[in-house]
Amino acid sequence: MSLQHFLSFSDLTGNEVRRILDRAVELKGETRSGIPHDHLLRGKTLGMIFEKSSTRTRVSFEVGMLQLGGHALFLSPRDTQLGRGEPIEDTARVLSRMVDGVMIRTYEHEKIERFARYSTVPVINGLTDHEHPAQILADLQTYLEHRGDIGGKRVAWIGDGNNMCNSYIHAAHQMGFTLVAACPAGYDPDPAIAAAAGSAFELVRDPRDAVRDADLVVTDVWASMGQEDEKSARRQAFSKFIVDEPLMALARPDALFMHCLPAHREEEVTTEVLEGPQSVVWDEAENRLHAQKALIEFLFAA
């Protein structure tokens, strides 16, 4: 029994991810067929600290815990002592004595790492400014269901070298696919993550160079949560980074399109692509539920 956190996508090996994804597909099948699995985590609890807004992350973790027979608590800094300055180290030690796991969505990645250092229960990253690993699990499950294993494939990331992009680079390295990111200068992903990925990662400046022959095209908002002040500067910097039909036409004919959502139509992606036949964004959103159930089961059993 060893304590296992999921703060970064690199916290799991490729084999562990593949096991979790297979289990996610299995749990999804059971859920869809109405086969209950509420014995799996009966009586277990997940504390969920949200310092930023959320629709998918909150609902998927909460519903997931319920379907596994456990319970999730929504903890907003507005109405907990965290918002009044109680140290994260103290909160971690107190919550650890009451709940079986903690999910955190916050700004600084360092904060979740500090929490994890003091936690005696698994800590899950529900998004920081630096990474969004839970979303990548859902993306990989979606790819698996539609096209099979992602190993050896070419994935194009278009736009900001943000939290999603950083986690995708880790995933490329762990899972054996190539991630080609097209980012405007000044908006590159974390250079340390990029360097650690070696030949699994490539950075280009022209979205067409990233998308050519891609099996999967992924994008995200131009301004993430917390970057609202940079909106107009970013709109200018990213104006050539729209995923539209002419761009998608350069990818492989069977390429899929993904977006973690929420999306800004006619900014990073056109309505035609988002609602088009290559888009699997609704499956991707649903898979947050299934992939995270498998993740929680894995972490709680460690």
Q: Which residue out of 23, 56, 288, 290 is catalytically annotated?
A: 288
Cα 140 from chain centre: 10
Judged by the rule CB under 6 A, the positions of this chain that interact with ligand NVA are: 127, 132, 162-164, 220-221, 224-225, 260
The answer to whether 105 is a known catalytic residue is yes
55 binds, among ligand CP, ligand NVA, none (CB under 5 to 8 A by kind): ligand CP
| Per-residue buried b or exposed e for 241-261, using 16+ beta carbons within 10 Å of the residue's own CB | bbbeeebbebbeeebbbbbbb
In whole angstroms, how far apart are CA 50 and each of 7, 102, 208?
15, 11, 37
Least distance to ligand CP from the beta carbon of 291, Å?
12
Query: By CB under 6 A, is residue 280 in contact with ligand CP?
Result: no
Residues with Cβ within 8 Å of residue 228, at least 6 apart in sequence: none
Q: Based on CB atoms, which residue is closest to ligand CP, 44 or 56?
A: 56
Letters for 48-87 (x = contact with ligand CP by CB under 6 A, - = none) are ------xxxx------------------------------
The answer to whether 56 is a known catalytic residue is no
Q: Residue 32: what residue type?
A: R
Burial class of residue 40 (count of CB atoms within 10 Å of its CB; 0-12, 13-18, 19+): middle
Bridge-partner residues for 6, per DSSP?
Answer: 124
144 binds, among ligand CP, ligand NVA, none (CB under 5 to 8 A by kind): none
The answer to whether 260 is a known catalytic residue is yes
The answer to whether 67 is a known catalytic residue is no
The answer to whether 264 is a known catalytic residue is no
Which residues are at the interface with ligand CP (CB under 6 A)? 54-57, 127, 135, 260-261
